[in-house]
Amino acid sequence: MTPRRQEDWHRHGMRSPEDIAGLLAARLGGADETLRAVGPTWDEPSYADFLGEQL
């Protein structure tokens, strides 16, 4: 996918991925980097947990 200019997103009434990451970080009270680095936070078993139960 080719990189888009910032004004291209807003011209079509859309938000850029950077804007969305910033909004989520502001809403959750963290930084952009923590949003990308942290995986799912809900309490569901992972595939590794499933494999551990099978052994």
Query: Is the distance from CB of 32 to CB of 25 less than 8 angstroms?
Result: yes
In this predicted model, what pLDDT tens digit does every residue of 17-49 receive, in sequence order? 788 888 888 888 765 554 454 555 566 777 777
pTM of the model: 0.35
Domains of the chain: which residue ranges? 1-37
Query: Is the distance from CB of 6 to CB of 16 less than 8 angstroms?
Result: yes
Question: What are the backbone angles phi and psi of residue 29, rounded to the nearest 5°?
Answer: 80, 25
